[in-house]
A and B are shown apart, each in its own frame.
Chain A
Amino acid sequence: MRDVTIRSLAVALALVLAAGPWLPQWALSLLTISLGKGLVVLGLLLLMRTGLVSFGQGLYYCLGAYAAGVLAQWTGLYDAVAMLVFSAIVSVLVASVLGLLLASYRGIFFAMLSLAFSMILYGLLIKMPAFGSSDGFNVVARTMLGIELAGKGGYAVLALAAVSACAAAMALHRYLGSHLGSLAPAIRDNELRVEYMGASVRGAVHLNYAIAALLAGMGGGVTALSVGHIDPEMAYWTTSGEFVFVAILSGTGSVAAPLAGSILFEWLRSYAYQYSPNTWQMVLGAAMLLIIMFLPAGLWSVLARRNKGA
């Protein structure tokens, strides 16, 4: 059953793959990074639909990136797909553990505790020479599924990013329509009721947290492959804050929104950096305030949270 969202995503994917070889390098690069970050924001969409805002997705974004690099360095496996898969696995494993603690929290405690964990990673990485300390290190893929990449690397990574992002969005869409996925907005609106209908809120929150982590990890892997360099800044709280901003900007109405929003954001940012690097943040902040104050519908899923007792 192909619904509108799935069809649109498929069409978009086809377009990107077709247009890819003709895109100039800067556009290729921009698109790939946007899709990588879009994956992280996709995870935020799921969390926000569950009523949670994480200010620490940078943790998994960074973990995924470093996992990709580490796999290559330690095992000599410079395959893009293998690296991406490893990014996802590492992120899910960490999230399964951290989620045990985090699933007990809501609201600002959840937000800030997730921030704290990302800062823990940052604090660890900047002092670890094995991983390049605050300089980080370079990541490069030489093959994709065994096929040599020489020369065509840019397009190949774009293709990988596009396929991953679209597949993830489609899968998330199906999940949100499933029995388990439909619990998310219910939990956001009234956890008490969900428990009293016989479902485990904690279990669902933990699961959604792990899924968001997986997506963020994949996003980190994609970014690592695209940019070619990773550093601890990826885990800094301002990176996570930026993901939250894009999530707010895009809205959580559709799984396509985070991807489209990311592309728009990266494109705007590249222009802003060029013309006024010292006011970019101010513009971002002002835009966010305007959206919060005058477009609450855009923040609908965050604002629609209710947590009343009887």
Chain B
Amino acid sequence: MTQLLAVAIDGVIYASWLFIIALGLTLIYGVMKILNLAHGSLYALGAYAAASLVGYWLSAGGSPYASYGLLAAAALVVGLVTGPLIERGLLKHLYGRDEIVLILVTYALFLILEDMIKLLWGVESYVVSEPYGLLGNMSFGPLDYPVYNAVLVVAAVVIGAAMTWGLQRTRSGRMLVAVIHDREISAAMGINVQRMYLVTFTIGAVLAAVGGALTAPTVSVVPGMGVEVIVLAFAVVVIGGLGSLPGAAVGALLVGMVRSAAVHYLPEAELFSIYAVMALVLLVRPKGLFSAAEVRRI
């Protein structure tokens, strides 16, 4: 019984982390039809920036409680800088090209960013664990968890709710949804699709960076941390359906739970189980759980 509870809680924590990262990825694909392989690098950038900022703040004698705000600030800065830079500087010149070409572009971007991180921060690991332990622990029966994990879960819920509200209730949000459904008609109806792309990619970059920043206190920040993340986020997004917000949430929960169960009951299957689930879902629903209907072709 205790083990089931542990599985569930670990699953939710992992799912929250996955959701934040996957959300950006699925949004970018939904609006721009680009599968951003550099998403993991943006995540890593967020982690590094957060670790540096908080590390500097703490060593300068700043209050540890302010570090949470700094984590968010670092993520915001990374996202708001890299998003527009990448979208305007690179992607904008390649719209209209084949989907596969755009993936290769984001892959090239991933390669560049990975080395850029090494150049900027070197290859040693950064550890800023104070924010992680600062809030103490909480108990669920016999199990203890750092309260920080609750921060992660709350962040995921808040972000999910904010995005849902934003997409459904604001004008810009509804325009984004329109572009997700049909780019051409949206443009024909006067929606500034180019601006939507900029906004979307920036939001995606911010979300990736937030995921990284929130992760920074819980791990050693090392080069290559983004490399594994991208495939995990990708699995979530494909399971949920590319471009679907609820899909990202459901996919994250599913992957989170499956991985958690694997870790507890069959550790050898940890990584394998995630991709096995993805393959299984695709067998049944070829385009993911929440995918759009197929359009008639001739």
Q: Give Cα A261 to B100, complex, Å.
A: 21
Q: Does A61 contact B (CB under 8 A)?
A: no
Answer whether residue A238 sits at the interface, using C-beta atoms and an 8 A cutoff.
yes
24 contacts between A and B (CB under 8 A): A53-B104, A107-B99, A112-B35, A112-B234, A112-B238, A113-B282, A123-B269, A123-B270, A123-B272, A123-B274, A123-B275, A127-B268, A237-B231, A278-B115, A278-B119, A281-B115, A282-B119, A284-B108, A288-B104, A293-B93, A293-B94, A302-B100, A303-B97, A305-B100
Cβ contact within 8 Å between B98 and A292: no
Q: How far is the CB of A259 from chain B (nearest CB, A)?
A: 21
Contact residues of A with B, CB < 8 Å?
Answer: 53, 55, 101, 104-105, 107-109, 111-113, 115-117, 119-120, 122-124, 126-128, 192, 237-238, 241, 244-245, 248, 278-282, 284-286, 288-289, 292-293, 299, 302-303, 305, 309-310
Given A126-B271, A292-B105, residue A302 in contact with residue B115 (CB < 8 A): no
A289 B227 Cβ-Cβ under 8 A: no
Q: Are the CB atoms of B104 and A284 closer together than 8 Å?
A: no
Q: Which of A53, A104, A126, A289 is the most central at the interface, judged by chain B CB atoms within 10 Å of its CB? A: A289
Nearest CB on A from B295, distance (A): 9
Quick one: closest A residue to B272, CB to CB?
A123
Q: How large is the interface on B (under 10, 10 to 19, 20 to 34, 35 or more residues)?
A: 35 or more
CA distance A284 to B271 in the complex (A): 28
User: Does the CB pair A288–B111 fall under 8 Å?
Assistant: yes
Q: Shortest CB–CB separation between residue A6 and chain B, in angstroms?
A: 30
Q: How far is the CA of A128 from the CA of B267 in the complex (A)?
A: 11
A-B contact count (CB 8 A): 129
- Chain B residues closer than 8 Å to A112, beta-carbon distance: 35, 234, 238
- Identify which of residues 109-142 in chain B touch chain A, using a CB-to-CB cut-off of 8 Å: 109-112, 114-116, 118-119, 123
B residues near A113, Cβ cutoff 8 Å: 238, 279, 282
- Is B219 part of the binding interface, using a Cβ–Cβ cutoff of 8 Å? no
Find chain A residues with CB under 8 A from B108 CB: 284-286, 288-289, 292
Shortest Cβ distance from residue B118 to the other chain A in the assembled complex, whole angstroms: 5
Tell me the B residues contacting A by CB distance below 8 Å: 35, 90, 93-94, 97-101, 103-105, 107-112, 114-116, 118-119, 123, 227, 231, 234-235, 238, 267-276, 278-279, 282-283, 286-287, 296-298
> How far apart are A189's CB and chain B's nearest CB, in angstroms?
13
Within the assembled complex, what's the spacing in Å between the Cα atoms of A111 and B231? 12
Instruction: Name the A residues within 8 Å of B268 (CB-CB).
Output: 127-128
Chain A residue nearest to B38 in the complex (CB) = A285
Contact assessment for A120 and B275 in the assembled complex, using a CB-CB cutoff below 8 Å: yes
Q: In the assembled complex, which residues on chain A have CB atoms less than 8 Å from the CB atom of B114?
A: 281-282
Question: Known contacts being A115-B231, A119-B231, A281-B115, is A108 close to B103, with CB within 8 Å?
Answer: yes
Once the chains bind, are A101 and B282 in contact (CB under 8 Å)?
Answer: yes
Extra pairs beyond A127-B271, A285-B107 (9, CB < 8 Å): A111-B100, A115-B234, A123-B269, A245-B107, A278-B115, A281-B111, A288-B111, A289-B105, A309-B298
B residues within 8 A CB of A107? 99-100
Q: Give the nearest-CB partner of B238 in chain A.
A: A112
**Could you tell me if A101 and B111 are in contact, using CB atoms closer than 8 angstroms?**
no
A124 contacts B282, C-beta separation under 8 Å: no
A105 to B282, CA, bound (A): 10
B112 and A281 contacting across the interface, CB-CB below 8 Å: yes
**Residues of chain A within 8 A of B279, CB atoms compared:** 101, 113, 116-117, 120
Q: Complex Cα distance A289/B93, Å?
A: 11
B282 to chain A, nearest CB (A): 6
Task: Determine the chain A residues whose CB is within 8 A of the CB of B234 once the complex forms.
Answer: 112, 115-116
- Do B107 and A124 touch (CB < 8 A)? no
A270 CB to nearest B CB, Å: 17
Given the interface pairs A278-B119, A280-B115, A289-B108, the reply to whether A119 lies near B270 with Cβ below 8 Å is no
